[in-house]
Structure 1
Amino acid sequence: MKKLFVFMIDALCASDIEKMKEMPNFSKIINDGSYVASIETVWPALTYSCHTSIVTGTYVDRHSICNNEVMERGCKPGDVWYGYKSQVKDPTILDYARENGLTTASIAWPVSAGANYTYNWPMIVPYKYKDYDAEKYLYGNATDNLLEKYFWKYGLFQKGPDAELDRLTMAVAPDLIRDFGQPDVMFVKMCDLDTQRHFYGVYSEEAYIQLRRHDMELGVLLETIKRYGDYENTNFVIIGDHGQTNIEDVLNINILLKQAGFIRTDENGKMIDCDCYAHSTALTCCIELKNPDDKEMAKKVKEFLLTLKEDKDIQLRYVYDKKEMKEIFRVDGPFDFIIESNRDISFSDKLDKETIWASTEPGDHKIGRATHGSRGDRKETTLFVASGPSVKKGVVIDKANMVDEAVTMAKMIGFDMPNTDGRILHELLVE
């Protein structure tokens, strides 16, 4: 029986393919298989939205994960991140695999807590959590079989200010394959390339050192499958969730809205009332109306945003309202406009600033030296690489869509995913 093993690298850029061809483990998958040179992401090109589209094969307006942060009406920052499988409105490829009698595993995958997979260790410990009792987030959300066997010795990698999720992943994933046998469908996610690019930039030496480390980590997993699994019958897939873009400037968009009279604050800068509020999605930004039924205010806000298209410093590329964003981006959520600049500007939604412009903050996932979140046609998109018994050798597709990935991977191992938004990439497959 054919199997599927997916190695996800957060912030894997399309241009990385040339470096990957020079690395021993990536190059083996590339040389033995085929790839898509540019995967157009869904909007917003954020980790949680993209990961969810990858496994569901649907756009954001269907699966509902419209940001990393949970978005609700109320003109307030999003402090809590999505995390639970129950928040995803569409079934995933792993759900369909289970229905087809296959065993499933998911390690460090976003928005998967509580999923009914055979083995599951979700990305559920909060993004900024630095304390020492991570187990309170995992118990009841990860599967008992993994927690009982591994948390006692590997849980330390999710505790304290120096927690390292990739170390946890690389401890649990090989042991799972050895101790339980190779699952029929297994998804493994790595985070640290994204982190290095946020800190140092897209094309930094630190990023390429980390890419090489991911190659070595893949090598460990390939060797584990050779020793304890069914290597010859496994389809291997390497994917990314988005590219990244080096940032020129940071725009404090809520300060700009405050200066225009749409946000009122007290003497300490704390918001006391507003007509609209901006939520950063890094390279793009969502604008929420306090009262979405106030047509006059909606018109006033849109007219103001449109003036920013002519601003020589801001240079907005587009201003789309709710109807347009659903038609163009296939996205819906508790917001009323989305904007993006022609420049490589990242948006900050902080209100505790003096001016509308700020510098990047290395490492920050919204306003770091490099970031993402734009529509899927920026310079750096991401990749889809595959090899195995179901994959042709030597095919290169110039471009495909992120929602094509799940249905294509399902086809590799013999089942269909009905009612998705993607198309099967038959060009890559042995049929």
Structure 2
Amino acid sequence: MNRLTDHLIVISFDCLSSHDFPVIKKLPHFQELLKRGSYCPNVESIYPTVTYPCHATIVTGNYPKRHGVVNNTYLQPGRISPDWHWHRRHIQGTTLFDEAKKAGMKTGALLWPVTAKADIDYHMPEIFANRPWHHQIPVSLMNGSVFYQLDMNRRFGHIRNELNQPELDDFVLESAVHTIKTKNPHLLLIHFTDLDTQRHYHGFSSEEAMNALKRHDNRLGRLLAAVKENGTSDNTTIAALGDHSALDETTCIQLNVLFKEQGWISVTPIGKVTNWQVYCHSCDGSAYIYIRSKSDKDLTKRVNALLLQLTREEENGIEQVLTGEEAGALGADPHCDFMLEARDGYYFKENLEGDFLHHVTKEDVRAKRYTYACHGYSPKKENYATFFAAAGKGIRPHQKIPAMRLIDEGPTFARLLGLDLGDTDGSVVEGLLTEERE
């Protein structure tokens, strides 16, 4: 298969929404990308619309039920800070970076989710120090490119303020610019989370979120400039995209509180889970319900009856109850017993203590116990799309694609690099691409 470009840089602006288009089209560097290239203001994400499943979808072209990353976190009932699906081994099947490496291309990834321990040449994985005895730098080093990360930390580590934003994205930016100028990889994946963080803790349309969009525009400008300075503009494609949108919320649904009252979750006096039969695994705007014993049909009926009873009153915040089969048909985890969709203004948490419904306060958000906005809702929700734009080699200029899907991005990127992801849920967006290499 012919390559349409020599270099592909994929920039994920976490939580970039279709609603941001009227803002970013007026910002100078997004404006430059849009003038040179093509875009889609209406990209349908996947279910659940959370970061790790979304990013696994972007590099595989598949829905979560096929690539296996069905939520950000493991199912670890009662754990205050569950482990995330950080590692490449969690993705079933091949990926864009795997195929690029097989083809002899140089690859890079900066804080791209679900890549820890991946075979990537210049690699700084997104992985947290999630144990009291862990330290962030050794954890990152052990799961990515050791000498590359040491060099980036030596050069730019002073910019970071632990994992706080916007300093973390500023560190990633400087590392990415240096990588473009000195390593010139054929495929570079970059993940920025500043906007997502601001929306969680200040609200979707907050001043803080709008300022993050402006910072992202400056970051995009620095990356565009790095490609020009490197002399590879004519042979490079740059894609800027979002993974999901977000919605404001005011009330948290804490179903495990009810499950504990029903005797389906047992805890010690200090709140440690000792046994569970039914558990709500949050995806924020949606939630999986898992029943431990699949053969207990009576328990399944009782859980179903409770959930349906809760949906009858709008103030309980549950909009829809899906079976595992119905969830799988939408691309989510078919092994769940039920999947719940929250109403607008509501979201789910896994807390075992407190009230079933918790109204979020400023103190809650300041302490980072709860948020003002989140995602994870069904991609079919109205006005809940994300965004895609690309420019450069292999991209037709001045095309507006009315609608596409997140699952289409991986196959389209593979086509640009002359790679094949195999049989995928998504398909190449032909309207974005030139017919053949010039």
Q: Same fold (TM over 0.5)?
A: yes
1:167 aligns with 2:170: yes
Which segments of structure 1 move beyond 6 Å, counting only runs of 4 or more?
Answer: 128-132, 363-366
Match in the other structure for 1:124: 127
1:203 aligns with 2:219: no
Match in the other structure for 1:351: 352
1:266 Cα deviation after fit:
5.6
Once the two structures are superposed, the pairs formed by residues 321-400 of structure 1 within 5 Å of their partners are 321-333=323-335, 335-359=336-360, 361-362=364-365, 367-378=370-381, 379-400=383-404
1:418 Cα deviation after fit:
1.2
Relative to structure 1, is the Cα distance of residues 375 and 237 closer, same or farther in structure 2, using a 3 angstrom cutoff? Answer: same
Q: Is the 1:363–1:369 contact (alpha carbons within 8 Å) kept by the matching residues of 2?
A: no
Once the two structures are superposed, the pairs formed by residues 86-105 of structure 1 within 5 Å of their partners are 86-105=89-108
* Rounded Cα–Cα distance in structure 2 between residues aligned with 1:373 and 1:318: 14
Once the two structures are superposed, the pairs formed by residues 45-84 of structure 1 within 5 Å of their partners are 45-71=49-75, 79-84=82-87
User: Secondary structure, in 3 states, of the residue corresponding to 2:316?
Assistant: coil
Relative to structure 1, is the Cα distance of residues 265 and 331 closer, same or farther in structure 2, using a 3 angstrom cutoff? Answer: closer
* Rounded Cα–Cα distance in structure 2 between residues aligned with 1:12 and 1:160: 23
Matched to 2:37, the amino acid is: G
User: Secondary structure, in 3 states, of the residue corresponding to 1:123?
Assistant: coil
User: Secondary structure, in 3 states, of the residue corresponding to 1:110?
Assistant: coil
1:35 Cα deviation after fit:
1.1
* Rounded Cα–Cα distance in structure 2 between residues aligned with 1:70 and 1:264: 19
* Rounded Cα–Cα distance in structure 1 between residues aligned with 2:272 and 2:135: 32
Q: Is the 2:39–2:390 contact (alpha carbons within 8 Å) kept by the matching residues of 1?
A: yes
**Can you list the C-alpha shifts for 1:332-374, whole angstroms capped at 9, x where unaligned?**
45x3211012332111210121453331543788941000001
Match in the other structure for 2:117: 114
* Rounded Cα–Cα distance in structure 2 between residues aligned with 1:212 and 1:238: 14
Relative to structure 1, is the Cα distance of residues 161 and 239 closer, same or farther in structure 2, using a 3 angstrom cutoff? Answer: closer
Q: Is the 2:254–2:355 contact (alpha carbons within 8 Å) kept by the matching residues of 1?
A: no
User: Secondary structure, in 3 states, of the residue corresponding to 2:260?
Assistant: helix
* Rounded Cα–Cα distance in structure 2 between residues aligned with 1:37 and 1:369: 25
Is there any run of 5+ residues in structure 1 with no aligned partner, and where? none
* Rounded Cα–Cα distance in structure 2 between residues aligned with 1:81 and 1:350: 17
2:310 is aligned, of 308, 313, 320, to 308
* Rounded Cα–Cα distance in structure 2 between residues aligned with 1:78 and 1:276: 19
User: Secondary structure, in 3 states, of the residue corresponding to 1:140?
Assistant: helix
Q: Is the 2:250–2:359 contact (alpha carbons within 8 Å) kept by the matching residues of 1?
A: no
Match in the other structure for 2:36: 32
* Rounded Cα–Cα distance in structure 1 between residues aligned with 2:384 and 2:172: 26
What's the TM-score once normalised by structure 1's chain length?
Answer: 0.92
Relative to structure 1, is the Cα distance of residues 243 and 392 closer, same or farther in structure 2, using a 3 angstrom cutoff? Answer: same
Relative to structure 1, is the Cα distance of residues 268 and 129 closer, same or farther in structure 2, using a 3 angstrom cutoff? Answer: closer
What's the % identity of the aligned pairs?
A: 28
Matched to 1:238, the amino acid is: A
* Rounded Cα–Cα distance in structure 1 between residues aligned with 2:368 and 2:399: 34
Matched to 1:358, the amino acid is: H
Relative to structure 1, is the Cα distance of residues 77 and 138 closer, same or farther in structure 2, using a 3 angstrom cutoff? Answer: closer
Matched to 1:18, the amino acid is: P
User: Secondary structure, in 3 states, of the residue corresponding to 2:116?
Assistant: coil
1:315 Cα deviation after fit:
4.7
2:225 is aligned, of 205, 223, 226, to 223
1:430 aligns with 2:434: yes
Which stretch of the first structure deviates more once superposed, 47-56 or 397-406? Answer: 397-406
1:42 aligns with 2:46: yes
User: Secondary structure, in 3 states, of the residue corresponding to 2:365?
Assistant: coil
1:169 Cα deviation after fit:
0.5
* Rounded Cα–Cα distance in structure 2 between residues aligned with 1:207 and 1:358: 22
RMSD (Å), alpha carbons:
2.4
Match in the other structure for 2:14: 10
Q: Is the 2:253–2:356 contact (alpha carbons within 8 Å) kept by the matching residues of 1?
A: no
* Rounded Cα–Cα distance in structure 2 between residues aligned with 1:315 and 1:369: 16
* Rounded Cα–Cα distance in structure 1 between residues aligned with 2:70 and 2:369: 15
Q: Is the 1:77–1:279 contact (alpha carbons within 8 Å) kept by the matching residues of 2?
A: no
* Rounded Cα–Cα distance in structure 1 between residues aligned with 2:294 and 2:78: 11
User: Secondary structure, in 3 states, of the residue corresponding to 1:218?
Assistant: helix
1:383 Cα deviation after fit:
0.7
How many residue pairs align between the two structures? 427
Q: Is the 1:105–1:183 contact (alpha carbons within 8 Å) kept by the matching residues of 2?
A: yes
Match in the other structure for 1:144: 146
* Rounded Cα–Cα distance in structure 1 between residues aligned with 2:418 and 2:305: 52
* Rounded Cα–Cα distance in structure 1 between residues aligned with 2:400 and 2:127: 36
Relative to structure 1, is the Cα distance of residues 161 and 372 closer, same or farther in structure 2, using a 3 angstrom cutoff? Answer: closer
1:19 aligns with 2:62: no
Relative to structure 1, is the Cα distance of residues 71 and 366 closer, same or farther in structure 2, using a 3 angstrom cutoff? Answer: farther
Match in the other structure for 1:194: 196
Relative to structure 1, is the Cα distance of residues 32 and 136 closer, same or farther in structure 2, using a 3 angstrom cutoff? Answer: same
Match in the other structure for 1:242: 244
What's the TM-score once normalised by structure 2's chain length?
Answer: 0.90
1:58 Cα deviation after fit:
1.0
